[in-house]
Amino acid sequence: VSDATERTRWWGWGAEEGRPRLGPAGAALVARELALDGGSDARAPAPPALGSVNLPESALPLEAARRLEARLGPGGVRTDRLARVARAAGKSYPDLVRLRSGEAPAAPDAVLVPTSPEGVASILEVCSELGVAVVPFGGGTSVVGGVTPRREGFAAAVSLDLGGLSGKVEVDRRSLTARVGPGTLGAVAEAELGAHGLTLGHFPQSYELATVGGFVATRSAGQASTGYGRIEDRVLGLTCATPSGELSVAPVPASAAGPSLRELVVGSEGILGVITGLTLAVEPAPEVRHYEGWSFRSFAEGVEALRVLTQAGAAPEVARLSDEEETRLSKGLAATGSSADLAGRAYLSLRGHAAGALAILGWEGESRVAARRRSRAARMLRAAGGLALGGGPGRSWARNRYAAPYLRDELMDMGALVDTLETATSWSGLLALHAGVSTAVRAALAGRGATPVVGCHVSHLYGSGASLYFTMLARAEPGREIEQWSAAKQAAGEAIVAHRATITHHHGVGCDHRRWMEAEVGPLGLEMLRSAKARLDPGGVMNPGKILPVSGEPGS
């Protein structure tokens, strides 16, 4: 299924059929909030036509093409327009801005489709020798520029599509482990595991379109990470093809045999090599999934409640607490004007929660165990000021849990800038980080004349702290969308670094967070990453321009 990417919108998100929509009332609300010109009446621009995309000629050297074809066989080397345009970028806001305007200057010179780890090794060998940049490509859902080809001095760049490494999931039921091809889509792996009564428990927003190898290469954390852990908590063994040979980590439950090489490959985003095999820890599929809503009088009150819950070992599998602004907007979008809806508002208002913060908590597992955990948590949440809203908000969240990137397309159609960014810090630092980043992003956008909406939620809980996930919305500046976005992104990154939080909790580094890597890991930390890359990829062909700062950036 190397063409999964091509069955979805190359200039946006997902398939054309059955897309989640804002609806007219929702669109009107957003238009009003952001003071969009034309509001909900504005006609969406026509999608760009593939044929008219500004696509450079393929610069793949003839010798490379010849040798790669010999190794990969017919169909292994594609230079057709759709293949190249569909892998010209990931799915970040600036990626989509460029693609929508019909520009694909970074498109790979070819798309390579190996069907085995040996095929991957061949590609790395040929490309290293001939100086062709190699961009590993899973589902292509990076929102940080992680799959955008960058030549960095090389004559050509190819995308190495991992769709061919997606065979059947092999399960060891007794050990609760599964061998998964790295090119397997998250949703496909989950369906196969489901047939064995198992789950990976990994549900990032990109779940339908991203690959399991991509999860590992980017240190992904799913929506249920509070319960099931991050992807690195699930990786037992792996193989990674590099220009210097194969790095192999045996799947043992734990080891004290020196530094962790597994943790060097996890999160390496293709700059060291290509993940060609994975053995993951899986879990019994839950008997029940119960998602419910809770309201708090304020974000601060809700954060405190989640902290207490987590530190008592009473956290749910899914935990998501919106701040007041995000709560206000999501209530507005969900409002139907029905009498039940109005009664609900009156109830919240009466209890002092009119401008409160909404939490979604999800309990999964054995039915009786989940029920007992849920009732213990309910006592603690009530004691912390929480108001139970029942299963309605939970079901609504679950229905829409993968919808946001579809809606982004619609918002962009309406002339909106829409982006998300995320970070994590200690419980002690969380509220100050929330205020700092919110204020910085609002100021950056307002300073350029927009009326921004900046909302945030906590969505991954740890004993020592939590993540913050920000969504920013504003009227886009036509023709200057990228500059506008850059100003907001820069302000956010500076605020994050000033608060000593991490520059990314689960999106990864890619191109967009490179400039803060020196602040993140220090000069010597950067040197360590450079030296690991130099050892495995002496020619520097592996996904150049990712993670490590490039010329002119701090730490370069």
Site for a second copy in 412-441 (CB under 8 A): 424-429
3-class DSSP assignment, residue 57:
coil
Q: How far is the CB of 427 from a second copy (least distance, A)?
A: 5
3-class DSSP assignment, residue 209:
coil
Nearer to a second copy, 270 or 394 (CB): 270
Rounded Cα distance, 241 and 123, in Å? 10
532 binds a second copy (CB under 8 A): yes
Tokens for 404, please give them. Answer: 């946001």
Nearer to a second copy, 37 or 170 (CB): 170
Q: How far is the CB of 261 from a second copy (least distance, A)?
A: 5
Helix (H), strand (E) at residue 357: strand 357-365
Nearer to a second copy, 28 or 314 (CB): 314
What string marks each residue from 462 to 501 as x (binds a second copy by CB under 8 A) or -? xxxxxx--------------------------------xx
Among 200, 238, 547, 555, binds a second copy (CB under 8 A): 547
Nearer to a second copy, 202 or 442 (CB): 202
Rounded Cα distance, 50 and 470, in Å? 32
Nearer to a second copy, 72 or 221 (CB): 221
Nearer to a second copy, 235 or 474 (CB): 235
Cα separation values, 241 from 235, 249, 251, 277, Å: 17, 12, 17, 9
HEC-encoded secondary structure of 389-403: EEHHHHHHHHHCCCC
Residue among 383, 377, 386, 376 nearest 356 (CA): 386
Nearer to a second copy, 284 or 352 (CB): 284
Of 347-355, 362-370, 390-398, 407-415: span binding a second copy (CB under 8 A): 362-370
Q: How far is the CB of 247 from a second copy (least distance, A)?
A: 5
Rounded Cα distance, 5 and 140, in Å? 7
Among 49, 62, 256, 350, binds a second copy (CB under 8 A): 256
Nearer to a second copy, 231 or 361 (CB): 231
Q: What is the DSSP letter of 179?
A: E
Q: How far is the CB of 241 from a second copy (least distance, A)?
A: 11
Tokens for 440, please give them. Answer: 């910085």
Size of the site for a second copy (CB under 8 A): 92
Q: How far is the CB of 531 from a second copy (least distance, A)?
A: 4
What string marks each residue from 501 to 530 as x (binds a second copy by CB under 8 A) or -? xxxxxxxxx---x---x--xxxxxx-xxx-
Amino acid residing at 80: D
Question: In this structure, are residues 433 and 496 in contact, taking their beta carbons and an 8 Å threshold?
Answer: yes
Q: How far is the CB of 548 from a second copy (least distance, A)?
A: 9
Q: How far is the CB of 259 from a second copy (least distance, A)?
A: 5
Q: How far is the CB of 479 from a second copy (least distance, A)?
A: 33
Name the residue with tokens 């000629």: 57
343 binds a second copy (CB under 8 A): no
Q: How far is the CB of 542 from a second copy (least distance, A)?
A: 13
348 binds a second copy (CB under 8 A): no
3-class DSSP assignment, residue 66:
helix
Sign of dihedral through CA atoms 115, 118, 119, 123?
positive
Rounded Cα distance, 37 and 46, in Å? 18
Q: Please, which of residues 219-238 interact with a second copy by CB under 8 A?
A: 219-221, 230, 232, 236
Tokens for 67, please give them. Answer: 């040798």
Q: Please, which of residues 262-321 interact with a second copy by CB under 8 A?
A: 262-269, 272, 281, 283-284, 307, 311-313
Among 54, 116, 260, 367, binds a second copy (CB under 8 A): 260
Question: In this structure, are residues 160 and 135 in contact, taking their beta carbons and an 8 Å threshold?
Answer: yes
Nearer to a second copy, 76 or 90 (CB): 90
Question: In this structure, are residues 335 and 481 in contact, taking their beta carbons and an 8 Å threshold?
Answer: no
Calculated CA dihedral for residues 392, 397, 403, 409, nearest 10 degrees:
80
Tokens for 355, please give them. Answer: 């401008």
DSSP string, 453-511: EEEEEE--B-SSEEEEEEEEEEE--TT-HHHHHHHHHHHHHHHHHHTT-BS-SSS--TT
Amino acid residing at 256: A
Among 353, 460, 489, 515, binds a second copy (CB under 8 A): 460
Among 45, 167, 194, 245, binds a second copy (CB under 8 A): 245
Of 206-214, 333-341, 368-376, 442-450: span binding a second copy (CB under 8 A): 368-376
Task: Count CA within 13 A, CB hemisphere, residue 429.
Answer: 20
What string marks each residue from 144 to 183 as x (binds a second copy by CB under 8 A) or -? ----------------------------x-xxxx------
Nearer to a second copy, 32 or 372 (CB): 372
Among 74, 153, 259, 337, binds a second copy (CB under 8 A): 259
Q: How far is the CB of 147 from a second copy (least distance, A)?
A: 15
Nearer to a second copy, 349 or 556 (CB): 556
Rg of the chain in Å (alpha carbons): 23
Q: How far is the CB of 215 from a second copy (least distance, A)?
A: 11
Q: How far is the CB of 518 from a second copy (least distance, A)?
A: 11
Nearer to a second copy, 26 or 222 (CB): 222
Helix (H), strand (E) at residue 527: helix 517-536
Nearer to a second copy, 264 or 288 (CB): 264
Q: Give the strands of the sheet with 235-242, arranged side by side.
A: 170-172, 177-180, 274-281, 235-242, 245-249
Nearer to a second copy, 374 or 513 (CB): 513
How buried is residue 131: exposed, middle or buried, by Cβ count under 10 Å (0-12/13-18/19+)? middle
